[in-house]
Amino acid sequence: MNKYESVVIINPNVEENALKALIEKFQTLINTDGEVEQVNELGKKKLAYEINKNKEGYYVVYDFKANPKLIAELERNYRITDEVIKFIVVKK
């Protein structure tokens, strides 16, 4: 298993209950074929540039170990989730 870090920027207009559900959904997905070491919720921050008419975003950082096959599935889920503005997954 390799170590990864994933930063996800979520639409700031999402309600708190839905936000917690999204964070938990991605954490559960990672745990299917990996292990979440840490989840940092950085909160709302101003974006460097406007994305989809949003000037702010809710940042969540996941530190985890996973098999490389999981990364493609994780990125696919990020892409099809409407609330996710931007994301990146980096191998440490």
Q: From CA 11, how far away is CA 22, in angstroms rounded?
A: 11
Q: How confident is the model over 19-54, as pLDDT tens digits?
A: 999 999 999 999 988 899 999 999 899 999 998 889
pLDDT above 90 for 4: yes
Full-model pTM: 0.89
How many residues belong to the chain? Answer: 92
Q: Which pLDDT does position 1 carry in this prediction? A: 86
Q: What single DSSP character describes residue 13?
A: T
Per-domain boundaries in the chain: 2-57+64-85
Q: Which pLDDT does position 52 carry in this prediction? A: 87
Q: Which CATH class is domain 2-57+64-85?
A: alpha beta
Q: How confident is the model over 62-88, as pLDDT tens digits?
A: 999 998 888 999 999 999 999 999 999
